[in-house]
Amino acid sequence: MGDRKYFGTDGIRGRVGQPPITPDFVLRLGWAAGRVLGGEHGGRVVIGKDTRISGYMFESALEAGLSAAGLDTHLLGPIPTPAIAYLTRTLRARAGIVISASHNPFDDNGIKFFSAEGVKLPDATEEAIEALLDEPLTTRNSASLGKAYRVPDAAGRYIEFCKGTVPNGLSLEGLHIVVDCAHGATYQVAPAVFGELGARVTSIGVDPDGLNINEGVGSTRPEALQDAVRREHADLGIAFDGDGDRVIMVDAGGAVVDGDELLYIIAAHRHGNGGFPGGVVGTLMSNLGLELALQGLGIPFRRAKVGDRYVSELLAEEDWLLGGETSGHVICRDRNTSGDGIIAALQVLTALVERGETLASFRQGMTKLPQTLVNVRVERMIDVHASPTINDAVTAVEADLADCGRVLLRPSGTEPVVRVMVEGEDDQQVRELAERLAHVVREEAAGGDEN
């Protein structure tokens, strides 16, 4: 990924109006993508977006670029990212394009792509698109230009799809759920899904104005959901991020249930229903408590690099069905091809209803170990794994944990920071060991500068 000029691990993202997130670049991106994806035969591409005000501008730019390359565009409007993956497949499109910056503030935006199969584009295809971005933009002859269509029932199609991912006859009747849509892409869809399955729904974060996406609400700001669940005396709460591929939940007492715990609930329920095929994929940051709880059930567990792209790749490699991140990206490959907040929440609700348990009681099957993360800012990045001093310090910390914990050093890929994470059984010990190891990293980095 390091050789690419524009594409990162999750498409192209940045501040609106600053390169590359500008109308002229997105126009050329649409054209280049159309040339690569459509070739000489054209076809259709679907475009969906979240609720950011800049989405209108970038939707038009993409449409123009794709038309110049000879592809038709089917515009889905504001709709969750996983819905775009689903509709790309069902509409037999050559690709799906998402206009979103996920959990970022409104003045950021981004573009990412799904293949015809509803998964991230192969590296070779992204590289081919990049190779065309610096070439002069040309247009097809007028008779071959692409057309644009609105898909007025896009949200309705996705609502029905989501409802179809739970067992026939499952009812959420009797459950009072607070749903926080982050003023984002799920604002029309999520309350309808849970309500039509029988739940009593109280909605917050469902009044987007183009500027308030993720502002004080959503999965990255759970305080609003916690307050609403307590105030409404609800059974539980569900919060999505701005584009709907991430979810966290809140139990009746207001305690946050993160992605690790949601993975455990889904896996444990499926295991209890007659076996769990394959295993679960987490990341390097997944809590050790998840690994130990799954181990107790006899369910294999593997860790991918941080990022839902890497979780998805490892799931495909292992041919497993369930994986995700602590942040709430949960991928149920037997339900959808991408991380899907609504579908993940439905899998958890299915477990609660069929087991007759509350969210608070079911989560007790997994005990999260205390985890401390220290971000060590350094003037110059060092190879932490090649330093004898740091390696000795890690060995000493691991010895203090006595096989009842975990140590992770992870250089940031975007800033001069080394992330030092320590997990263990004793909260005070974990914090002290993390600070001790962070001090060694800080000193080693400073010493390297002096040389």
Q: Residue 231: what pLDDT?
A: 98
Confidence of residue 414 (pLDDT cuts 50, 70, 90): low
What would the pLDDT profile of 108-145 be if each residue is shown by its tens digit?
Answer: 999 999 999 999 888 899 999 999 998 999 999 999 99
Active site residue 219: no
Q: Which residue has the tokens 């369930």?
A: 322
Per-residue pLDDT for 88 more than 50?
yes
Distance CA 53, CA 107 (A): 9
By three-state DSSP, how is residue 304 classified? strand
Q: Which of 108-122, 228-242, 302-316 has the highest mean pLDDT?
A: 228-242
By three-state DSSP, how is residue 391 classified? helix
Percent of residues, the chain, with pLDDT higher than 70: 98
Distance CA 236, CA 226 (A): 9
Distance CA 259, CA 330 (A): 7
Distance CA 230, CA 211 (A): 27
Contact between 346 and 359 (Cβ < 8 Å): no
What would the pLDDT profile of 174-183 be if each residue is shown by its tens digit?
Answer: 999 999 999 9
Position 257, amino acid: V
Secondary structure tally for the chain: helices H, strands E:
14, 18
Confidence of residue 296 (pLDDT cuts 50, 70, 90): very high
Angle at 374 between CA 373 and CA 376, to 5 degrees: 145
Strands 176-180 and 236-240: parallel
Per the model's pLDDT, the better-predicted residue between 436 and 122 turns out to be 436
Per-residue pLDDT for 215 more than 80?
yes
Distance CA 279, CA 276 (A): 7
Environment class of residue 398 by beta-carbon count within 10 Å: exposed (0-12), middle (13-18) or buried (19+)?
middle
Q: Residue 276: what pLDDT?
A: 81
- CA separation, residue 353 to residues 101, 185, 293, 359, 409 (Å): 34, 27, 21, 10, 40
**Mean pLDDT to the nearest integer, 443-448:** 80
**Mean pLDDT to the nearest integer, 37-53:** 92
Distance CA 57, CA 346 (A): 34
Query: Which residues, including other chains, have CB under 8 Å from residue 260's CB and lie 6 or more apart?
Result: 282, 286, 287, 289, 290, 326, 366, 368
Confidence of residue 295 (pLDDT cuts 50, 70, 90): very high
**Mean pLDDT to the nearest integer, 400-421:** 86
To which H or E segment does residue 375 belong? strand 371-377
Q: Residue 382: what pLDDT?
A: 81
Per-residue pLDDT for 2 more than 70?
no
What would the pLDDT profile of 390-403 be if each residue is shown by its tens digit?
Answer: 999 999 999 999 88
Catalytic residue among 54, 67, 100, 102: 102
